[in-house]
Structure 1
């Protein structure tokens, strides 16, 4: 799995991102990694435009990254493509998504062609092979510009489940000069769909290590007081969409055993999603009402605040019943950068960031007893929490900064341009 890059200077490029999700405003954490990636490239001197579907809540917030939303359906209430709206719990595509797909693709292509005529992009970068990599591949061939595709999760899952989507992904991979995957699972999934190994690159996401940072004991106490957390309480935090693959039920199932050893445990759950009602039911069933708080959807700055108050961050991700799985959740990198001790499952993507006993604790998925034991160990051992948190912070800075990601991407772009024989 290739991930090496050169540090040689690269001439500024005009890059067009094609995506179906993006933060709707400056405080939105959804698909934040797309914006962070674009911003990191801009900070290195490149120019980045983003073509994305219209969303009523989308604001063109002040930024050096230009956004170009396109309309594909009227009324706007039917615009479900992207922004985590086109699927049921990340397991099945909604029927309306199939109906909207042709019009979505045509408008996306039309927008790309219009923008290229105006700005003459050097390279196209499609995020998620389905649907954006496919339309970007068609445009790439038409305008004779190289294409890079980045895989982020559910695109590979759906492509392996549906014959038509599989053929579409194969078409896109055949056109791509380079393909990046944020986890080994996605890397291997792309190979199974026909991507060429010599064009594949393992490229985990980055993290904003300035926004997510270690705080002083005084700052931590102030944040905990603002959140109504007693100084004696051990805070366990979970942040993510409430869908099956995030494994929230296993955290809740672990809490009765945790509470028997750590009576002052407090579990804070940030996020919304279709699993909310079921998770609330589990809290009631296990008598955990006094030990669990559901915080609802968190803005990006609120995630940073919650991590300042956190003792143990838990990411109990699993393969869901349909086989879908997380790559490397960005919240794990944010918790690492914040110096939190972490308990997570030993999925391939997560294992890229965390080595068990060094940067956190890793346990088998769907094993709530192992999850509980790891939480109890860290709850009892403040010294171990501090050591793991410091190691995690150091690793996040050294290996997962957005500057590192942007440098690698720029190298892939330059290689694709050189291979295409295009001079800038």
Structure 2
């Protein structure tokens, strides 16, 4: 049984991995979108605005599914998962935490306190980097239970450069136009407001550039707030809000973009960075220590101080002056082919499932 949110193309891809093996799979999705899959699907409509009633309903629907199916393995792609707080005699449990689950404490350290308990239930915990390993150890996960899993990158992202001309025509963009893309979810951790404001300042200074904004997890209020920032600068024609993007929508946005912007306060090793490099876009990311294994110099990407949004403006200017039309992404793309092969990572995860079934 897999627990993963179908609103995220990233988690859709991860949820599909056991379907590549000889397993009877049930996919439980707490999401706005109905999952599309060949396996049995249980969809719980995501409505956190209902408050405690929503969380109670989620717990009840999950337990109803779990005790009907009695799966041999429960794989949860989220460590802030309340049902695993209950002290049942679970069978085999795999937890794949997101970076924000374990690095972002939340109010009164709520997220980390739940994550610590949920992780204690796991027979296997997946981790994308040594940096995540260290945090998991701090949260009490035994080293022998941690398994390295980068999950791999969809082949579609590697084809983005070949689709650039076609997609730029579809987006009504010239070949020369400078395009930035913000692909992260609309959550406080990812500081999309600051990215939008920095772009507007850059655009005012340089007179160049277009910003594309993905709106995963965004609300109408988020759109209104972000649009208000843009309108305040008089730049509404130069920022496009793309709504919720599926895999094809994400691939198209990468294909037309010169650079990808991420300004998160903390992170694991985000799939966004793998996708950015695979798609041949120049990464402009926060200067977090664990990114250095992929971005060691300006030739590979631009790392900005997490406390100085002004460096985002400087990074965008650098992209305009030094990267756009001049930079060769071949080394970045080859690095991701080596580190994040979807085929290899799928085989590795299927092997983990098989080993747990044999214990």
Range of TM-score over shorter length:
0.7 to 0.9
Q: Which residue of 1 aligns with 2:25?
A: 49
Q: Residues 243 and 147 of structure 1: is their aligned pair in 2 closer, same or farther, counting only changes over 3 Å?
A: closer
- Written as runs of structure 1 = structure 2, the 5 A alignment for 1:162-311 is 169-182=115-128, 187-216=133-162, 219-255=163-199, 258-259=202-203, 262-271=206-215, 272-273=218-219, 274-311=221-258
Task: Deviation per CA, 1:6-31: give whole Å up to 9, x if none.
Answer: xxxxxxxxxx2133x12xxxxxxx32
Query: 1:341 Cα deviation (Å)?
Result: 1.4
Query: 1:409 Cα deviation (Å)?
Result: 2.4
Are 1:339 and 1:392, in contact at CA under 8 Å, matched by a contact in 2?
Answer: yes
Match of 1:305, SS?
helix
Find 1:404's aligned residue among 326, 344, 348: 344
Q: Which residue of 2 aligns with 1:124?
A: 74
Match of 1:230, SS?
coil
Query: 1:34 Cα deviation (Å)?
Result: 2.8
Q: Residues 410 and 379 of structure 1: is their aligned pair in 2 closer, same or farther, counting only changes over 3 Å?
A: same
Q: Residues 128 and 137 of structure 1: is their aligned pair in 2 closer, same or farther, counting only changes over 3 Å?
A: farther
Task: State the structure with more CA Rg.
Answer: 1
Are 2:17 and 2:349, in contact at CA under 8 Å, matched by a contact in 1?
Answer: no
Q: Which structure 2 residue ranges, 5 or more long, are not aligned?
A: none
Are 1:170 and 1:193, in contact at CA under 8 Å, matched by a contact in 2?
Answer: yes
Q: Which residue of 2 aligns with 1:112?
A: 66
Q: Does 1:152 align with 2:68?
A: no
TM-score by length of 1: 0.71
Match of 1:397, SS?
helix
Query: 1:179 Cα deviation (Å)?
Result: 1.0
Q: Which residue of 1 aligns with 2:40?
A: 67
Query: Whole-Å Cα distance in 2 between the matches of residues 48 and 130 of structure 1?
Result: 25
Match of 1:215, SS?
helix
Are 1:224 and 1:309, in contact at CA under 8 Å, matched by a contact in 2?
Answer: yes
Q: Which residue of 2 aligns with 1:7?
A: none
Find 1:37's aligned residue among 2, 11, 14: 14
Q: Residues 214 and 155 of structure 1: is their aligned pair in 2 closer, same or farther, counting only changes over 3 Å?
A: closer
Query: 1:345 Cα deviation (Å)?
Result: 1.0
Find 1:377's aligned residue among 318, 321, 324: 318
Query: 1:397 Cα deviation (Å)?
Result: 1.8
Match of 1:129, SS?
coil
Are 2:200 and 2:230, in contact at CA under 8 Å, matched by a contact in 1?
Answer: no
Task: Deviation per CA, 1:247-297: give whole Å up to 9, x if none.
Answer: 223323333553366433122222234533332222233333343222333
Query: 1:151 Cα deviation (Å)?
Result: 0.5
Q: Does 1:335 align with 2:281?
A: no
Query: Whole-Å Cα distance in 1 between the matches of residues 110 and 214 of structure 2?
Result: 36
Query: 1:69 Cα deviation (Å)?
Result: 0.7
Query: Whole-Å Cα distance in 2 between the matches of residues 385 and 180 of structure 1?
Result: 38
Are 2:151 and 2:346, in contact at CA under 8 Å, matched by a contact in 1?
Answer: no
Match of 1:210, SS?
helix
Query: 1:208 Cα deviation (Å)?
Result: 0.2
Query: 1:196 Cα deviation (Å)?
Result: 2.0
Q: Which residue of 2 aligns with 1:26?
A: none
Match of 1:405, SS?
helix
Q: Which structure 1 residue ranges, 5 or more long, are not aligned?
A: 1-15, 23-29, 72-78, 87-93, 320-324
Task: Deviation per CA, 1:225-248: give whole Å up to 9, x if none.
Answer: 221223332111112322222222
Query: Whole-Å Cα distance in 2 between the matches of residues 295 and 288 of structure 1?
Result: 16
RMSD in angstroms over aligned alpha carbons? Answer: 3.3
TM-score by length of 2: 0.83
Match of 1:34, SS?
helix
Q: Residues 150 and 68 of structure 1: is their aligned pair in 2 closer, same or farther, counting only changes over 3 Å?
A: same
